Amino acid sequence: MNSEPEKQRQGIQSIEVGTRLLRVLAANGRSMMLRDLAKTAGMPAAKGHRYLVSFMRMGLVEQDANTGRYDLGGFALELGLASLARIDPVRLAVPVLDELCESIGETVALAMWGNHGATCVRWVEAGGPITITLRTGTVLPLTSSATGLAFAAFYRSPYLKKQLDAELRVAAEATNTDVLTLTQNLENRLDEIRSHGISRASGSLTPGINGFSAPVFDHTGGMIAAITSLGTIGHFDMEWSSPLAASIKSAAATLSKRLGYGVAENSQVRPGG
């Protein structure tokens, strides 16, 4: 005889079956006819219609009176907005950073855009003979750090452009180089970063330290954070195609998905599953 906790874990199968219709609507991105909706969800149209009637009463689904097509309803929107409002990027990043640090054996950090620029908000130290510390609250330069370059390549903000211009002017004065030349060199570098989906910097911020940084996107498709890893030159593989770079990009993609990036486009519903 099953215990009460086991019964609770079994759930209600009819709800799970009916939810396939909601998943199809969410993944399709537009209203659908009953026959197409039910077929994609892997159930007869008559059965799908019964579920849809209940969903309409709840506000999860609505039907266009003129076309007969079904779409997500107002309550579904309320649920989605409420879920988005509860998303905490830093909290969601913690297990991702821990797993990445453990898998690659390097110090990792999460940076977000703050009042003063790209700012470290969380870091996990790998340990080892050489301590690499990226303190919480540290603001990273946009043109000379892996984290800053990731934001320069993928983040969009009027303040970012002003900060970039300011850094380039300071660099031009320090090196007695024309600002336009430095700007063009930076644009070429940013194009390369965008093509690889990750930025890198070698010894420019801290001597002897290399870094990779990958962008994290939210449900709007905009960059919201960066996952960065740091390691010592000679030990930290800086090749674009290295397993290290792939791991960091994978971690950023995982966090992006948890923040809602590309969920509708990438959702797949298995008929009958």
Domain locations in the chain?
4-85, 89-258
The answer to whether 154 touches 142, Cβ cutoff 8 Å, is no
Dihedral, 85, 90, 96, 102 alpha carbons, nearest 10: -170
Q: What's the number of CA atoms in the CB half-sphere (13 Å) around residue 25?
A: 25
The string of DSSP codes covering 247-260 is HHHHHHHHHHHHTT
CATH of domain 4-85: 1.10.10.10
According to DSSP, residue 32 is labeled B
SS3 234: coil
Average pLDDT, the chain: 86
**52 — pLDDT class (breaks 50, 70, 90):** very high
Tell me: the pLDDT tens digits for 152-206?
A: 999 998 889 999 999 999 999 999 999 999 999 999 999 999 999 999 998 766 7
pLDDT tens, position by position, 214-263: 999 998 899 999 999 998 888 888 999 999 999 999 999 999 999 988 86
Examine the pLDDT at 130 and tell me if it is beyond 70: no
pLDDT score for 262: 80
Find, among 273, 231, 234, 229, the residue nearest to 252 by Cα: 229
pTM assigned to the model: 0.68
Beta strands at 223-232 and 209-217: parallel, antiparallel or unpaired? antiparallel
CATH code reported for the domain at 89-258: 3.30.450.40
